[in-house]
């Protein structure tokens, strides 16, 4: 398998280590501060989206970019998809919807060149990522229900099945 397999492009909204959540606003075509996280809570890796996709929540597919660096809002990264958390969320009003979290590594990474599937990640890391998203959603009174952990192949199916049309 080479670095071009399972290729996706990610636009970073919130950089690794940030205690602020940013969202891309399609109306203004700008990044807006969405919320501040509690003291001590930060994004474990860069968090962004795949342009031209629509997930079950009506937003572009979410991606956590596992990397040795952090970037900045708006940074475009060519990545290799390695897996996903298949997720059902429940809104504070009780509405259930899918809001999967994809996992990827930058093609340019020097440390993760041999990482091609989420099964290669330490279980403690995937458990910590799951805990982050569970706690992050709890802040908005949302329930984060992990349905399944997928490898690269399953994650690519989610991308291929996503509705296109987001700009």
> Is the entire prediction scored with pTM above 0.75?
yes
Q: What's the gap between Cα 106 and its chain centre?
A: 13
Q: What is the pLDDT of residue 164?
A: 55
| CA separation for the pair 53, 8 (Å, rounded) | 11
The chain-wide mean pLDDT, for the chain, equals 92
- Residue 135 pLDDT greater than 70, yes or no: yes
Looking at the domain assignment, is residue 53 inside a domain? Answer: yes
Looking at the domain assignment, is residue 43 inside a domain? Answer: yes
Domain extent at residue 72: 7-160
Q: What is the pLDDT of residue 5?
A: 76
| CA separation for the pair 26, 31 (Å, rounded) | 9
The pLDDT tens digits of the residues spanning 90-117 come to: 989 999 999 999 999 999 999 999 999 9
Looking at the domain assignment, is residue 166 inside a domain? Answer: no
Looking at the domain assignment, is residue 95 inside a domain? Answer: yes
- Residue 77 pLDDT greater than 60, yes or no: yes
Looking at the domain assignment, is residue 1 inside a domain? Answer: no
- CATH number for the domain harbouring residue 100: 3.90.80.10
Kindly state the percentage of the chain with pLDDT values over 90: 86
Looking at the domain assignment, is residue 135 inside a domain? Answer: yes
- Residue 65 pLDDT greater than 50, yes or no: yes
Q: Provide the domain count of the chain.
A: 1
The pLDDT tens digits of the residues spanning 26-44 come to: 899 999 999 999 999 999 9
Looking at the domain assignment, is residue 118 inside a domain? Answer: yes
| CA separation for the pair 132, 62 (Å, rounded) | 14
Residue appearing with tokens 């259930």: 96
Q: What is the pLDDT of residue 163?
A: 60
Looking at the domain assignment, is residue 167 inside a domain? Answer: no
| CA separation for the pair 55, 162 (Å, rounded) | 6
């Amino acid at each position: 398998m080479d670095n071009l397999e399972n290729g996706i492009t990610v636009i970073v909204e919130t950089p690794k280590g940030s205690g602020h959540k940013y969202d891309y606003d399609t109306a203004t075509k700008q990044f807006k501060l969405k919320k501040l996280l509690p003291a001590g809570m930060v994004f474990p890796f860069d968090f962004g989206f795949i342009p031209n996709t629509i997930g079950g929540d009506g937003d572009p597919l979410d991606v956590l970019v596992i990397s040795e660096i952090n970037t900045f809002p708006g940074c475009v990264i060519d990545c290799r998809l390695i897996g996903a958390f298949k997720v059902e969320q429940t809104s504070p009003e009780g509405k259930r919807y899918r809001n999967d979290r994809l996992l990827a590594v930058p093609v340019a990474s020097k440390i993760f060149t041999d990482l091609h599937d989420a099964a290669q990640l330490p279980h403690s890391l995937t458990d910590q990522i799951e805990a982050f998203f569970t706690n992050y959603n709890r802040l908005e009174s949302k329930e984060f229900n992990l349905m399944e952990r997928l490898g690269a192949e399953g994650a690519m199916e989610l991308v291929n099945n996503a509705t296109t049309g987001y700009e």
